[in-house]
Structure 1
Amino acid sequence: MTEVYFYHLQNQPLEKVLPQLLEKCLERGWRCVVQASSDERVQALDQHLWTWRDDSFLPHGLESEANASEQPVLLTISENNANGAKARFFVEGASSENLAGYERAIHLFDGNDPDAVDNARAQWKIAQAAGHAVTYWQQDEAGRWQQKA
């Protein structure tokens, strides 16, 4: 079964948390897919990942590009796994019930948005019902992630 992590974003925005988690996955040797809910969001993430830190960038590409299968991080709105990723990130309400083949699925949701919280709760129930190992993470005041469930 896939490990399904839920990250409750309250103190830091997606644009700060996502690149850090992607780097952790790449350090493990995992390819990643980031599924967003709109093409506009995919384009914004694409631009952000090239410039998110002054001293580095995250190598990535778009599923619509010719070399998608070679990308360590792939941005998409589809449920495809064109690069053979082991980790799948869901942002801004994107979701999929098909987690076969993934080591880990990561839902990042804005804890200040009631709709995002409701969607995360629904995805939690779906993942639990499917028999996945589900955990919930929340940041403390110092910015450290604490497992809450």
Structure 2
Amino acid sequence: MGAAYFYHLTQRSMEDTLSMLLGKARGAGWRVAVRGREVSRMVHLDNRLWQGDGFVPHGLAGGDHDAAQPILLTTQSDCPNGATCIMSVDGAEVTAEEVARMERVCVLFEDYDEALNTARRQWKALKDAGASAQYWSDESGGWEKKAET
């Protein structure tokens, strides 16, 4: 059974945190689905992941080779790339069934009211369904675990 890790971004950007977590997931040998709510946001993340110091091999859902992508950026709930890890951004939904089925589910959320409320709702739903969850914050400048179910 997997676990959901909630990452509260107060100091770091979504793009930097996502890139770091994707590197760790790939290092663990996991295939990843990055799930968002808006196609335009996935296009933005796609562009950002091609830039910078670290190469992050990935694809944007809707192409001919979705199943072959080690990391697939998508707005859909399915995982055509055989993902063993889901990274939810911008309030994209995850279920307790996915937490149980995956190696890891990561919920990344920024420090503003709507994102905080969505993350709290997701935390409560997963906790009530019996899923294992951890809450991490970068408020101190480094990642600290603040809560666990």
User: Structure 2 CA distance, aligned partners of 1:52 and 1:42?
Assistant: 17
Give the distance between the partners of 1:104 and 1:90, measured in 2 at CA: 11
| 2:4 alignment counterpart | 4
Cα distance, 1:58 vs structure 2: 0.3
2:127 partner SS? helix
1:74 alignment partner in structure 2: 72
CA distance in structure 2 between the aligned counterparts of 1:90 and 1:135, rounded to whole angstroms: 14
Q: Does 1:26 align with 2:58?
A: no
Q: How big is the alpha-carbon RMSD for the aligned residues of Structure 1 and Structure 2?
A: 1.1
Aligned length: 145
Contact 2:5–2:107 (Cα < 8 Å) also in 1: yes
C-alpha deviation, 1:13, in angstroms: 0.9
- Corresponding position of 2:133: 134
Task: Say which SS state the counterpart of residue 135 (structure 1) adopts.
Answer: strand
TM-score (norm 2): 0.93
Q: State the 1:30 CA deviation.
A: 0.4
How much does 1:34 deviate? 0.3
Residue 144 (structure 1) shift: 1.6
The unaligned stretches of length 5 or more in structure 2 are none
The letter for the 1-side match of 2:7 is Y
Instruction: Tell me if the contact between 2:10 and 2:139 (Cα under 8 Å) persists in the aligned partners.
Output: no
Distance (whole Å) between structure 1 residues aligned to residue 59 and residue 36 of structure 2: 14
Runs of 4+ in structure 1 deviating by more than 2 angstroms, as ranges, are none
For residues 87-106 of structure 1, the aligned pairs below 5 Å read 87-97=85-95, 98-99=97-98, 100-106=100-106
The answer to whether 1:37 aligns with 2:37 is: yes
Task: Kindly provide the amino acid, as one letter, of the partner of residue 118 in structure 1.
Answer: N
Deviations 1:77-129 (A, max 9, x none): 00011111111011011112241521111100012x10100000000011112
Using the alignment, how far apart are the partners of 2:106 and 2:94 within structure 1?
11
